[in-house]
């Protein structure tokens, strides 16, 4: 990937703005991103698609640009679902407004009839009472029908909106979940890390991070197969969940690495939790699901760090990772706590 200089970036941005101005579409961040990328010229496929559209004098409408954005930028399922849901919520709301305005029309007519009848009653030559009552009764029936229809439509719309909300929640949850182990994924970890740090600074409370890595997992996979390796990853995830509580968050950081975020927990408590987790694997035999064969044991190494006020998020993670590295170097199957950026202390 090419990183442009400030001068180049300014140039691309100016061209992107010029392109936006030349079109009737709204200057949204998404549309800006498309044009910036187009003028940057690094994404050949994107440029090809836009050039073809321009050469054919096709109208680059909102819908076309949205499709381009979905294809080249909004790669996550979640992003597309949010866009799609917001479109459908807008449609539903538009329909609701339509139904209400229909109902208002009906009420207006009803009002006119009532005014007409009461006017007529004041005149000595009014229509026979039977006729007036029949008109009134017809209008009442029509009004009731309108109200019932409005009620039904509003109920249907609220059911649709509730379905959309719940769909969005499922998509969001899926996007934050690791498919293999069912625990939080890296994305969720990144989001939670930021939230936990903010909370820790706000409360002046400690925050600790455990970084766990399975020892010699490559060799385990080589000996017992990838599927059994996957079972081990699921087992580790279950073990982490079993050992945490409340606000703690266990995530699969990637591959065979896991993290646990421990709000309101200092280094010492975090280190003893890490030790409990490490010990849980000691002497534990892994059994192959399909054949029941015992496939030996696994061990884990864990690095621990406590957040230091003002430290960058990346630095905090790097310190936990550094402690993990020290645990590995010291012989694996152990816990290592990073006491400060400079001095590490062995706590196994
Ligand atoms: P170390 O003790 O230094 O951590 O050694 P290691 O073999 O565990 O580390 P290395 O980084 O060399 O290998 C990691 C292995 O984790 C390689 C890969 O096969 C395995 N792995 C990563 N993701 C998955 C997965 O999703 N499923 C399975 N079964 N294995 C995975
Ligand atoms: Mg690893
Ligand atoms: Mg490993």
**Residue 120 is encoded by which pair of tokens?**
């007529």
* One domain for residues 219 and 314: yes
| Cα distance between residue 26 and residue 31, in whole Å | 8
Q: pLDDT confidence of 265, banded at 50, 70, 90?
A: very high
* Mean of pLDDT values over 17-24: 86
| Cα distance between residue 122 and residue 339, in whole Å | 94
- Pocket test of ligand 1: the residue of 181, 218, 237, 333 to mutate, having most ligand atoms within 8 Å of its CB, is 218
SS3 245: coil
Q: Which helix (H) or strand (E) holds 336?
A: strand 335-338
Instruction: Please report whether residue 1 resides in a domain.
Output: no
* Mean of pLDDT values over 87-103: 83
Q: How high is the pLDDT of residue 263? A: 98
**Ligand 1 near 214 CB (within 6 A):** yes
* Mean of pLDDT values over 68-89: 75
What is the domain count for the chain?
A: 3
- When the pLDDT of each residue in the chain is averaged and rounded to a whole number, the result is 88
Q: pLDDT confidence of 329, banded at 50, 70, 90?
A: very high
* One domain for residues 112 and 64: no
* Mean of pLDDT values over 172-178: 88
Distance of CA 292 to CAs 174, 228, 284, 285, 319, Å?
32, 11, 15, 11, 40
SS3 8: helix
Instruction: Please report whether residue 180 resides in a domain.
Output: no
* Mean of pLDDT values over 294-314: 93
Is the sign of the CA dihedral 140, 145, 151, 154 positive or negative?
Answer: negative
Q: 102 near 145, Cβ under 8 Å?
A: no
Q: How many CA atoms lie within 13 A of 222 on its CB side?
A: 4
Whose alpha carbon is nearest atom 21 of ligand 1? 255
Instruction: Please report whether residue 276 resides in a domain.
Output: yes
* Mean of pLDDT values over 178-187: 94
* One domain for residues 131 and 218: no
* One domain for residues 37 and 15: yes
* One domain for residues 140 and 126: yes
In the block, residue with structure tokens 């390796």: 229
* One domain for residues 193 and 340: yes
Question: Which atom of ligand 1 is the closest one to the Cα of 215?
Answer: 2
Whose alpha carbon is nearest atom 12 of ligand 1? 218
* One domain for residues 240 and 335: yes
Instruction: Please report whether residue 30 resides in a domain.
Output: yes
CA 53 – ligand 1 centroid, Å: 46
**Ligand 1 near 178 CB (within 6 A):** no
* One domain for residues 64 and 144: no
Last residue of a domain, one of 57, 72, 87: 72
Last residue of a domain, one of 21, 37, 72: 72
* One domain for residues 337 and 239: yes
Whose alpha carbon is nearest atom 31 of ligand 1? 255
Instruction: Please report whether residue 308 resides in a domain.
Output: yes
* Edge-to-edge strand ranges of the sheet holding 300-306: 249-254, 257-263, 207-214, 300-306, 335-338, 344-346
| Cα distance between residue 125 and residue 24, in whole Å | 62
- Pocket test of ligand 1: the residue of 217, 230, 286, 326 to mutate, having most ligand atoms within 8 Å of its CB, is 217
pLDDT tens digits for 216-261? 999 999 999 999 999 999 999 999 999 999 999 999 999 999 999 9
Instruction: Please report whether residue 163 resides in a domain.
Output: yes
Instruction: Please report whether residue 181 resides in a domain.
Output: no
In the block, residue with structure tokens 């030349």: 22
Q: How high is the pLDDT of residue 75? A: 60
Last residue of a domain, one of 148, 175, 202: 175
* One domain for residues 101 and 231: no
Which residues span the domain enclosing 37? 6-72
Q: 264 near 207, Cβ under 8 Å?
A: yes
Looking at residue 337, which CATH number applies to its domain? Answer: 3.30.70.270
Whole-model pTM: value is: 0.68
- Inform me whether the pLDDT recorded for 6 exceeds 70: yes
- Inform me whether the pLDDT recorded for 74 exceeds 70: no
| Contacts (Cβ under 8 Å, ≥6 apart) of 348 | 275, 278, 327, 330, 334, 335, 336
- Inform me whether the pLDDT recorded for 314 exceeds 80: yes
Residue, of 206 and 100, whose pLDDT is higher: 206
* One domain for residues 123 and 267: no
SS3 143: helix
* Mean of pLDDT values over 67-92: 76
Residues whose beta carbons lie less than 5 angstroms from ion ligand 3? 213-214, 217, 256
User: Beta 300-306 vs 335-338: how paired, if at all?
Assistant: parallel
Q: How high is the pLDDT of residue 345? A: 47
* Mean of pLDDT values over 181-186: 95
CA 197 – ligand 3 centroid, Å: 27
Q: How high is the pLDDT of residue 338? A: 96
CA dihedral 38, 40, 42, 46 (to 10 degrees): 0
Instruction: Please report whether residue 210 resides in a domain.
Output: yes
* One domain for residues 105 and 246: no
Q: 103 near 145, Cβ under 8 Å?
A: no
Q: How high is the pLDDT of residue 343? A: 44
């Amino acid at each position: 990937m090419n990183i442009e200089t400030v001068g180049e970036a300014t140039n691309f941005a100016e061209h992107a703005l010029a392109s936006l101005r030349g079109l009737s579409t709204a200057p949204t961040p998404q549309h800006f991103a498309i044009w910036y990328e187009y003028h940057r010229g690094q994404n050949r496929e994107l440029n090809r698609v836009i050039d073809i559209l321009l050469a054919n004098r096709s109208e680059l409408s909102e819908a076309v640009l949205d499709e381009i954005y979905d294809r080249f930028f909004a790669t996550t399922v979640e992003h597309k679902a949010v866009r799609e849901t917001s479109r459908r919520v807008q449609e539903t709301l538009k329909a609701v407004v339509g139904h209400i305005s229909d109902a208002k029309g009906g009420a207006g007519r009803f009002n006119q009839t009532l005014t007409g009848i009461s006017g007529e009653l004041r005149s000595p030559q009014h229509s026979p009472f039977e006729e007036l009552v029949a008109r009134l009764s017809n209008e009442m029936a029509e009004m009731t029908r309108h109200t019932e229809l409005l009620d039904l439509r509003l109920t249907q719309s609220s059911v649709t909106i509730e379905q959309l909300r719940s769909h969005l929640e499922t998509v969001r949850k899926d996007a934050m979940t690791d498919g293999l182990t069912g625990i939080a994924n890296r994305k969720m970890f990144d989001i939670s890390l930021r939230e936990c740090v903010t909370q820790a600074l706000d409360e002046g409370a400690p925050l600790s991070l455990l970084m766990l890595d399975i020892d010699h997992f490559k060799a385990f996979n080589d000996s017992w197969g990838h599927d059994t390796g996957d079972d081990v990853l699921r087992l580790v995830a279950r073990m982490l969940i079993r050992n945490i509580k409340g606000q703690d968050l266990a995530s699969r950081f990637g591959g065979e690495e896991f993290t646990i975020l421990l709000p309101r927990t200092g280094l010492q408590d975090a280190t003893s939790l890490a030790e409990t987790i490490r010990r849980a694997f000691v002497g534990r035999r892994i059994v192959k699901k399909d054949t029941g064969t015992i496939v030996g044991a696994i061990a884990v190494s864990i690095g621990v760090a406590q957040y230091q006020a003002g430290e960058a998020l990346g630095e905090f993670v790097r310190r936990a990772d550094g402690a993990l590295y020290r645990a590995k170097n010291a012989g694996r199957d152990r816990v290592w706590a990073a006491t400060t950026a400079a001095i590490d202390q062995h706590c196994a």
